[in-house]
Amino acid sequence: METLETKIYNHDSEIDVTHKINSTELDNWINHLIYIKKELSNLIGLYGQDLSDKLEDESILQKFQKKDSENDLLLKALHKYMGSRSDIRECEDTQCDMIYITEHESYRRSYLYHLDKYRKLKDEFFSKIQGKFTWLNPQS
User: Sign of dihedral through CA atoms 27, 32, 38, 41?
Assistant: negative
Contacts within 8 Å (CB) and 24+ apart, 19-23: 19/85, 19/88, 19/97, 19/100, 19/101, 22/100, 22/101, 22/104, 23/85
At residue 50 the predicted structure's pLDDT band, cuts being 50, 70 and 90, is: low
CA 91/CA 72 separation, integer angstroms: 30
| pLDDT, position 30 | 98
Decide: helix, strand or coil at residue 6: coil
Residue 78 lies in a domain: yes
CA 80/CA 38 separation, integer angstroms: 21
| pLDDT, position 140 | 52
Q: Which domain holds residue 94?
A: 14-126
Contacts within 8 Å (CB) and 24+ apart, 12-19: 15/94, 15/97, 15/101, 18/97, 18/101, 19/85, 19/88, 19/97, 19/100, 19/101
Q: Tell me: the pLDDT tens digits for 118-135?
A: 999 999 988 888 876 665
| pLDDT, position 17 | 81
Residue 51 lies in a domain: yes
Residue 136 lies in a domain: no
Residue 96 lies in a domain: yes
Residue 86 lies in a domain: yes
Residue 135 lies in a domain: no
Residue 19's nearest CA partner among 32, 7, 31 is 7
Q: Looking at per-residue confidence, does 35 or 15 come out higher? A: 35
Residue 27 lies in a domain: yes
Q: Tell me: the pLDDT tens digits for 57-115?
A: 678 889 999 999 999 999 999 999 999 998 888 888 989 999 999 999 999 999 999 99
Cβ neighbors of 96 (< 8 A, separation 6 or more) are 90
At residue 138 the predicted structure's pLDDT band, cuts being 50, 70 and 90, is: low
CA 39/CA 34 separation, integer angstroms: 9
